[in-house]
Amino acid sequence: MITLLPTDPAAGGSDDYMKGVLGIQLSYTAELTNTAYGFQLPASQLLRYVTQFYEAVRVFGTYVKDNFPAKA
């Protein structure tokens, strides 16, 4: 499972900088679900997670396109 989480203000990553300092409205971190393998998946599991991640990015992209029109 892939989760897209709003930024955690305590994390201090580049996404926090983008949102807090630059004021970018949508700043997210994509994280893999912790599995029995931790975050080091065996090659046999990669396609499954890449497929889920692609779908998450596709849905998020559609949301952005539909709710945040491009500025001229």
Q: Using the predicted structure, report yes or no on whether residue 8 has a pLDDT greater than 60.
A: no
Residue 12 confidence (pLDDT):
64
∠ CA 52-13-32, rounded to 5°? 20
Residue 59 confidence (pLDDT):
93
Residue 6 confidence (pLDDT):
55
Residue 68 is classified by DSSP as S
Per-residue model confidence as pLDDT tens digits over 18-45: 888 888 888 877 777 667 777 778 888 8
Residues 6 or more apart whose Cβ sits within 8 Å of residue 2: 30, 31, 32, 33, 49, 52, 53, 55, 56
Contact 7, 13 (CB under 8 A): yes
Per-residue model confidence as pLDDT tens digits over 9-25: 555 677 778 888 888 88
